[in-house]
Amino acid sequence: MNKLLLIAALICLATAQTVQECPTDGTILECIIQDSPVCGIRSLTNGKQIKETFANYCAACNVGKVEYTVSGKCESYPAQAQFCSPAQSKAEICTMIYDPQCGYFNQQVNCLVPPCNIDQYNRCKTCSIQNVLYTIKGKCPAH
């Protein structure tokens, strides 16, 4: 039963994983009524994230406190997931501080045995790997 729930959860995640950065120049977007839920992400100085579900990208970005969005409702992802920001995904240099992270790939990565994840040295290293969508603190669970 647990495996069935895990597979169902992964199918839901596989259909909802686009990351979009919000404008930072104060641009006000013209929104249309569209129900395409996104998880709006705002990073705090302590490294934690505030996540809130919005009706769509436009509604999330017009609030002004959302840095970027991930397709799908926040509740569709594990509560402990820390999403990789667009800036983190482009990191070229990372510290060598050991803080194990399990990185979970987006839908563009096809795995033979789900879940699609990878163990890395720290969050910076994990997020800088192409197609990693989010991390969870600690080593990845054994398959």
63-82: per-residue pLDDT in tens?
778 999 999 999 999 999 99
Encode 70-85: b = buried (16+ Cβ within 10 Å), e = exposed: bbbbbebbeeebbbbb
Mean pLDDT within 11-26: 68
Query: What local confidence, expressed as pLDDT, does residue 5 receive?
Result: 33
**Greater pLDDT, 25 or 60:** 60
Query: What local confidence, expressed as pLDDT, does residue 45 receive?
Result: 87
Mean pLDDT within 114-125: 92
Give, for 68, the enclosing helix (H) or strand (E).
Answer: strand 68-71
Exposure of 117 by Cβ count < 10 A (0-12 exposed, 13-18 middle, 19+ buried)?
buried
Query: What local confidence, expressed as pLDDT, does residue 16 receive?
Result: 42
d(CA 66, CA 41): 5
Mean pLDDT within 91-108: 93
Residue 14 has pLDDT above 50, yes or no: no
Share of the chain above pLDDT 90, in %: 59
Q: Please tell me the pTM assigned to this model.
A: 0.80
Share of the chain above pLDDT 70, in %: 87
Q: Which two tokens stand for residue 45?
A: 């100085």
d(CA 134, CA 106): 8
Q: What is the tens place of the pLDDT at every residue in 19-53? A: 999 988 877 788 888 889 999 999 988 889 999 99
Smallest Cα–Cα separation from 39: which of 12, 71, 61, 10? 71
